[in-house]
Amino acid sequence: MRENNLQWHAGFQAVLQIELSEEKEEFHFFQEYNLSQKPLQIDTLVVKKESPQGDSAVSAAIHESVKESGKKPPKNLGRLFRKYNIIEYKSPEDYLSVNDFYKVMSYACLYQSETEHVLDVRPEELTVTLVCSRYPRKLLHHLKNRYHAGVTKPFQGIYYIEGLMFPMQLIIPKQLAKEENKWLSRLEKDLSYQDIEILAEEYKGKEKDPLYEAAMDLIVRANRQVYEEERDMCQALRELFQDEFERYEEIGRRKGVEQGIEQGIEQGIEQGVRALVYSDAETGVDRASTIAKLKKYFSMSQEEAEKAIEKILALV
C-alpha cells in the first residue's frame, strides 16, 4: 500500500476528538473550516460551547472554577484552550516551517476579522495549536530572535510559546506521555508491536464508533509492516489487522463501482441531451420548446439549456 494514500489529517481529526472525549460536551469540532469564500481552510477549529456565564467570564475564570468545583482539570492538550482554538496539523512526513507559522497566524487574524460585527471574536479568546512530529528548531529560533518569544514545557511533549499575538502551544505527538495520550502519541508510522497491542485493547468495544474506526484504520494501514514482520502476533491482533485490510479493500472496491456508476449516468445524460437537441433541430421544433424539455427532463436552468443547445448545434 502506497504511503501517500494515508489520510493523516483525517486520522488526526479522529484522534484529537478521542483524546478530548472527556470534554467533548464542552466543544464543537470543525474540520477543514472555511475562512472565506476563497479556498482558505483551517485544519481544525475547536470552539468552546456557549455557557450561561458568558464566554469571556468562563475563559478568564476557568482555572479558578476548576479548583473551586473540584472538577477534573482539562486534559493536557486542551489546558491552553479558550473560546476559539485554531489547530494546524502536520503529518509524520511533513515538517513545520517559519512560513507555516505566518500562514497559521494569518488564518487566526482572518478568522477574528471575518465577522459581522467588530470584535465578535475577541482576540483574547483565540489560541493557536501547532502539531508536528519533529521539534521545529529553526522556527523556534526565529521566534526567539524576532519576537523574543519564550518557550516553556508544562507537559511532556507540549510546549507553550509565549509573547506572541495569541497564546500558542506546540505539540510533538511522539513526545507525549503514552499513558495519558494513548492515541495521539501513537499517531505515527513504525510503531512497535506493543504499541499496536495497547491500541487494539483500547479499540475493543468501540469498533462501531466512527472516530475510533477512522483512527484505527489509519494506524493499522500506516503500520502494516508490524503485521507482516511480527510472526508471533496474537490471534486477536492478527484478526484486527486482517479485518481492517479487508474492510479498506472493500471500501476501495465500492468507491470504484460508485464512481463507475456516476460516470455512466453522466455519460447517459449527455447522450440524452445531445439526442434531444439533434432530434428537435432536425424536425424543426422551435428553440423555446427544446429549452422547456431540457428544463423538465434534465433539470437544467434556462442558461444551462441555452448553452447546451449552442454547444451541441455548433458541432453539426
Domains of the chain by residue range: 3-190, 257-313
Residue 227's pLDDT is 61
Coil, strand or helix at 54: coil
By the 10 Å C-beta count (0-12 exposed, 13-18 middle, 19+ buried), 91 is classed as buried
Q: Looking at this protein, which amino acid is placed at residue 106? A: S
Cα–Cα distance measured from residue 265 to residue 96, given in angstroms and rounded to the nearest whole number: 43
Cα–Cα distance measured from residue 201 to residue 217, given in angstroms and rounded to the nearest whole number: 14
Residue 289's pLDDT is 86
C-alpha cell at 253: 472496491
Is the Cβ–Cβ distance between 143 and 161 less than 8 Å?
Answer: yes
Residue 163's pLDDT is 96
Cα–Cα distance measured from residue 133 to residue 92, given in angstroms and rounded to the nearest whole number: 5
Cα–Cα distance measured from residue 14 to residue 312, given in angstroms and rounded to the nearest whole number: 47
Is the Cβ–Cβ distance between 278 and 293 less than 8 Å?
Answer: no
Which pLDDT tens digits describe the chain residue by residue (316 residues)?
445 567 888 888 889 999 998 888 888 888 777 765 556 788 899 999 876 555 444 444 444 444 444 556 678 999 999 999 999 999 999 999 999 999 999 999 999 998 889 999 999 999 999 999 999 999 999 999 999 999 999 999 999 999 999 999 999 999 999 999 999 999 998 898 889 889 988 988 898 899 998 898 888 888 877 766 654 555 555 566 666 556 655 555 566 555 654 665 566 677 778 878 877 787 888 888 888 888 877 788 888 888 888 887 776 5
Coil, strand or helix at 146: helix
Residue 183's pLDDT is 95
